[in-house]
């Protein structure tokens, strides 16, 4: 546990009421102790905490332990057997009879990888306890949670949900039971339940969490060899107190910094659960887009992925795409300007613009992300770097942003992310030959288009007060090198060890799209998931304004 980063919050919870299931030991007990101690100076009574436990002797002992350690703590134990719906009903009845409010329901209890068994009501034990028990408990207490709004439901899931698949034709595991598969299914059910609860309920925020690898009693059903290994590497695992961090984080962090329906892990690393995201893939090559769509659905389990035609070298196509988005989508929360062309031979777009300036700056397209409240438009998803960003949270330019800006502003808080390049430092803007008709150099034309990206992000952030970021993804192994001389392509392959994979190249894009607290740095330029210094030319506000006016004139638009 020496390797686990520490986390602290001084949020106070006096006057609040919390229920923590499975709170007699481990993560649940540590969560309850933290909430109970969030009073003045974090040493006096905080929230009133109800320990919902199957073993009342251990539950009452846990309550005494917490109250002995925290002066004035308000902690009580109540009987709850999640494997018995009658017990759940009696527990809920007791809560309604004795509690006026309920602000936090932390569904922490669980069983892991146990031999086949069934609940009192005949359900497979892991699915019955980990999912159905908490599902029913939340249902019964939902009116009290709504009455106490704003309130929260935190469901403890696990990284194992990634391995899970809901066996709708064999939920009881009668046909083929495997303890690991059953556990993964129950943890996936936790994530899905959280996502649906967030969609269906007003005033009650819902979060699913992965506590990490924690040294607790939940490993008791593992075979002896695995138990022995767990004990041997115990020093590398989280302690129960550290495992409680993410649950506590989702309990006390201001709602404005969290995403209801979201999936959280490591308390500071946040990713909205991909299973709730709607992705609109905007692509020129529909055949490759379909291949990418299939990859995304297989990798993430998200079937809410659609394809829309978009040719960034044709303003008619861009306008048609934007018209569809404005008509069909209720909101666009993150617009990621990723598509581009790099150092190609001289050519022009359908509208007569130099290809790199026309695609990379004037007509590039975007992406936005989220869970059912969020719409994800993915530009050039056939590029592997965008595939990578979409599978984690789900990932042009001037004209498309102009056409979608009203929708983006209505979806606030929203972000626009512009993928530029360090190549913006290679040159300045040639305002007297912006279309490169007098002379054309592939590298300078590319550098000019990337410089335009950075300037556009800065100007947009200043003029419209939306959160906008430009970034350098790094030197990435992608199809962008296809127009280079064969010698350069060979060199790139030889030195690929020093370049980024598409997954690594997507990280700064993802960071700018989802990292909390970046609003104050709107208009900034980022590299390697951190603020970076752009070129002096990119910081020239007077030239940026001229570029803005020229861009509007070329496209025949007027920004209001």
pLDDT in tens, 48-63: 999 999 999 999 999 9
User: Which of these three, 241, 265, 289, is where a domain ends?
Assistant: 265
Let me know: does 317 contact 311? Beta carbons within 8 Å.
yes
Instruction: Provide DSSP, 395-464.
Output: ---HHHHHHHHHHHHHT-S-EEEEE--GGGGS----GGGTT--S---HHHHHHHHHHHHHHHHHHHHHHH
Q: For residues 126 and 114, give the distance between their C-alpha atoms in angstroms, rounded to a whole number.
A: 8
Residue 394 has pLDDT above 90, yes or no: no
Q: Which residues constitute the domain of residue 227?
A: 17-265
Of 235 and 438, more confident:
438
Read off the pLDDT of residues 270-284 as tens digits, 9 standing for 90 and up.
344 444 457 788 888
- Are 110 and 227 in the same domain? yes
What confidence tier does 126 reach under pLDDT thresholds 50, 70, 90?
Answer: very high
3-state DSSP assignment of residue 84: coil
Residue 120 within any structural domain of the chain: yes
Lowest mean pLDDT among 5-19, 432-446, 448-462: 432-446
- Are 369 and 512 in the same domain? yes
CATH number at residue 289: 3.40.50.720
Burial of 495 (0-12, 13-18, 19+ CB in 10 A): exposed
Residue 190 has a pLDDT of 95
Tokens standing for residue 431: 């305002």
Q: For residues 337 and 496, give the distance between their C-alpha atoms in angstroms, rounded to a whole number.
A: 25
Burial of 380 (0-12, 13-18, 19+ CB in 10 A): buried
What confidence tier does 97 reach under pLDDT thresholds 50, 70, 90?
Answer: very high
Q: For residues 410 and 402, give the distance between their C-alpha atoms in angstroms, rounded to a whole number.
A: 14
Q: How far apart are the first and last CA of the chain?
A: 55
Residue 360 within any structural domain of the chain: yes
Q: For residues 25 and 183, give the distance between their C-alpha atoms in angstroms, rounded to a whole number.
A: 20
Residue 343 has a pLDDT of 45
Tokens standing for residue 136: 């029913």
Residue 374 has a pLDDT of 40
- Are 208 and 251 in the same domain? yes
3-state DSSP assignment of residue 193: helix
What confidence tier does 252 reach under pLDDT thresholds 50, 70, 90?
Answer: very high
User: Which whole number is the average pLDDT over 74-95?
Assistant: 97
Let me know: does 397 contact 418? Beta carbons within 8 Å.
yes
Residue 372 has pLDDT above 50, yes or no: no
- Are 302 and 413 in the same domain? yes
Let me know: does 520 contact 467? Beta carbons within 8 Å.
no
Instruction: Provide DSSP, 272-288.
Output: --GGG-EEEEEES-HHH
Residue 2 within any structural domain of the chain: no
Q: For residues 439 and 408, give the distance between their C-alpha atoms in angstroms, rounded to a whole number.
A: 38
Q: How far is CA 543 from CA 119, 435, 548, in A?
A: 70, 16, 9
Of 22 and 510, more confident:
22
Encode 414-448: b = buried (16+ Cβ within 10 Å), e = exposed.
bbbbbbbbbbbbbbbbeeeebbbeeeeebebbbbb
SS3 annotation, 241-257: HHHCHHHHHHHHCCHHH
DSSP bridge partners of 282: 308, 379
Q: For residues 296 and 311, give the distance between their C-alpha atoms in angstroms, rounded to a whole number.
A: 21
- Are 286 and 172 in the same domain? no
Q: Give me the active site residues, please.
A: 183
Residue 139 has pLDDT above 60, yes or no: yes
Q: Which residues make Cβ contacts (< 8 Å) with residue 221, sequence separation at least 6?
A: 111, 112, 113, 114, 115, 179
Lowest mean pLDDT among 322-331, 405-414, 495-504: 495-504
Residue 7 within any structural domain of the chain: no
Residue 560 has pLDDT above 70, yes or no: no
Q: For residues 469 and 457, give the distance between their C-alpha atoms in angstroms, rounded to a whole number.
A: 6
Angle between helices 442-464 and 541-555 (to 10 degrees): 100
Residue 16 has pLDDT above 60, yes or no: yes
Highest mean pLDDT among 66-75, 159-168, 550-559: 66-75
Angle ∠(134,139,115) on CA atoms, nearest 5 = 20
- Are 40 and 100 in the same domain? yes
Of 477 and 517, more confident:
517
Read off the pLDDT of residues 405-426 as tens digits, 9 standing for 90 and up.
999 998 888 899 999 888 888 8
Let me know: does 29 contact 55? Beta carbons within 8 Å.
no
Of 144 and 266, more confident:
144
Q: How many domains does the chain have?
A: 2
Residue 85 within any structural domain of the chain: yes
Read off the pLDDT of residues 180-220 as tens digits, 9 standing for 90 and up.
899 999 999 999 999 999 999 999 999 999 988 776 655 55
- Are 249 and 332 in the same domain? no
Q: Which residues make Cβ contacts (< 8 Å) with residue 2, sequence separation at least 6?
A: 235
Let me know: does 240 contact 26? Beta carbons within 8 Å.
yes
Residue 404 has pLDDT above 70, yes or no: yes
Residue 199 within any structural domain of the chain: yes
- Are 316 and 411 in the same domain? yes
Encode 21-59: b = buried (16+ Cβ within 10 Å), e = exposed.
bbbbbbbbbbbbbbbbbbbeeeebbbbbbbbbbbeeebb
Residue 123 has pLDDT above 80, yes or no: yes
Q: For all residues of the chain together, what is the average pLDDT?
A: 80
- Are 406 and 356 in the same domain? yes
Read off the pLDDT of residues 515-530 as tens digits, 9 standing for 90 and up.
888 999 999 999 988 9
Q: Cβ atoms within 10 A of the Cβ of 160, count?
A: 18
- Are 177 and 93 in the same domain? yes
- Are 121 and 240 in the same domain? yes
User: Which of these three, 224, 239, 265, is where a domain ends?
Assistant: 265
User: Which of these three, 204, 234, 265, is where a domain ends?
Assistant: 265
What is the distance, to the nearest Å, from the Cα of residue 210 to the centroid of all Cα atoms in its chain?
13
Residue 321 within any structural domain of the chain: yes
- Are 158 and 302 in the same domain? no
Residue 437 within any structural domain of the chain: yes
């Amino acid at each position: 546990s020496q390797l686990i980063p520490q986390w602290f919050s001084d949020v106070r919870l006096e006057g609040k009421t919390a229920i923590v299931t499975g709170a007699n030991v481990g993560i649940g007990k540590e969560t309850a102790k933290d909430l109970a101690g969030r009073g003045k100076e974090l040493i006096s009574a905080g929230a009133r905490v109800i320990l919902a436990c199957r073993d009342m002797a251990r539950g009452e002992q846990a309550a005494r332990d917490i109250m002995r350690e925290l002066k004035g703590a308000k902690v009580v134990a109540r009987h709850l057997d999640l494997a018995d719906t009658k017990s759940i009903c009696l527990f809920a009845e007791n809560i309604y009879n004795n509690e006026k409010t309920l602000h936090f329901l932390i569904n922490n209890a669980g069983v892991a990888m146990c031999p086949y068994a069934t609940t009192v009501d005949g359900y497979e034990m892991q699915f019955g306890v980990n999912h159905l028990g908490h599902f029913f408990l939340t249902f019964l207490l939902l009116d009290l949670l709504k009455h106490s709004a704003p309130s929260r439901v935190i469901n403890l899931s696990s990284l194992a949900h990634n391995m899970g698949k809901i066996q709708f034709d064999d939920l009881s595991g009668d046909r083929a039971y495997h303890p690991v598969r059953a556990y993964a299914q129950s943890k996936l059910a936790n994530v899905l339940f959280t996502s649906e609860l967030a969609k269906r309920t007003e005033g009650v925020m819902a979060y699913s969490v992965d506590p990490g690898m924690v040294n607790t009693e939940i490993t008791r059903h593992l075979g002896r060899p695995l138990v022995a290994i767990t004990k041997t590497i115990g020093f590398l695992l989280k302690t129960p107190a550290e495992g409680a961090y993410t649950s506590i984080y989702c309990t006390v962090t201001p709602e404005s910094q969290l995403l209801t329906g979201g999936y959280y892990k490591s308390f500071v690393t946040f990713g909205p659960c991909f299973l709730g995201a709607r992705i609109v893939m905007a692509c020129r090559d529909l055949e490759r887009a379909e291949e990418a769509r299939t990859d995304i659905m297989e990798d993430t389990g998200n079937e809410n992925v659609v394809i829309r035609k978009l040719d960034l070298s044709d303003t008619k196509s861009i306008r048609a795409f934007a018209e569809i988005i404005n008509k069909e989508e209720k909101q666009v929360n993150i617009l990621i300007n990723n598509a581009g062309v790099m150092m190609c031979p001289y050519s022009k777009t359908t509208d007569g613009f130099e290809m790199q300036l026309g695609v990379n700056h004037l007509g590039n397209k975007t992406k936005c992300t989220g869970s059912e409240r969020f719409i994800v438009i993915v530009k050039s998803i056939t590029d592997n770097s965008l595939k990578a960003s979409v599978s984690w949270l789900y990932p042009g330019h001037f004209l498309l942003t102009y056409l979608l800006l009203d929708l983006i502003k209505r979806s606030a808080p929203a972000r626009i992310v512009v993928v530029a390049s360090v190549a913006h430092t290679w040159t300045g803007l040639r305002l007297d030959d912006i279309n490169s008709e007098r002379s054309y150099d592939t590298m300078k034309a590319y550098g000019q288009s990337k410089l335009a990206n950075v300037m556009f992000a800065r100007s947009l952030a200043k003029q419209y007060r939306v959160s906008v970021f430009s970034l350098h993804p790094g030197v990435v192994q992608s199809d962008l090198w296809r127009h280079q001389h064969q010698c350069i392509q060979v060199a790139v392959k030889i030195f690929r060890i020093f370049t980024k994979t598409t997954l690594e190249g997507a990280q700064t894009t993802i960071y700018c799209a989802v990292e909390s607290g970046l609003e104050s740095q709107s208009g900034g330029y980022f590299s390697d998931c951190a603020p970076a210094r752009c070129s002096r030319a990119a910081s020239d506000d007077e030239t940026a304004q001229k570029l803005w006016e020229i861009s509007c004139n070329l496209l025949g638009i007027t920004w209001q």
